[in-house]
Amino acid sequence: MTIIDAIKSLKPNAEWVVRGDYTYENLEWLDKSQTKPTKAELEAEVTRLQTEYDNNAYQRSRLMEYPSWGIQLDYIYHNGIEKWKTDIVDPVKAKYPKP
């Protein structure tokens, strides 16, 4: 996560530009209708966003493990919902449990 992600999260419609490296010192605030977040606010938001991202690693892992929707729907059609749950969904959830 970067300060860019933090700005987009805290001030989604603000106008700003970063000139050079993505650092607070290079952040030029163009939006006169909103106050520029402090460096501490942006750092705290970067930390919050990173924690949220890290805590959802299991979701990204599950997404990569499941077959495509077409394959899953075909499996449901031929085998039913309960069989789909036990054969496809449950093994992936067991492999990548929620924290």
Non-local (6+) Cβ contacts of 18 within 8 A are 3, 4, 26, 27, 28
Residue in the structure block whose two tokens are 């993505």: 22
In whole angstroms, give the CA distance from residue 99 to residue 97.
6
CB distance 46 to 1 below 8 Å: yes
Q: Quote the pTM value.
A: 0.72
8-57 residue pLDDT tens: 999 999 999 999 998 999 999 999 999 999 999 999 999 999 999 999 99
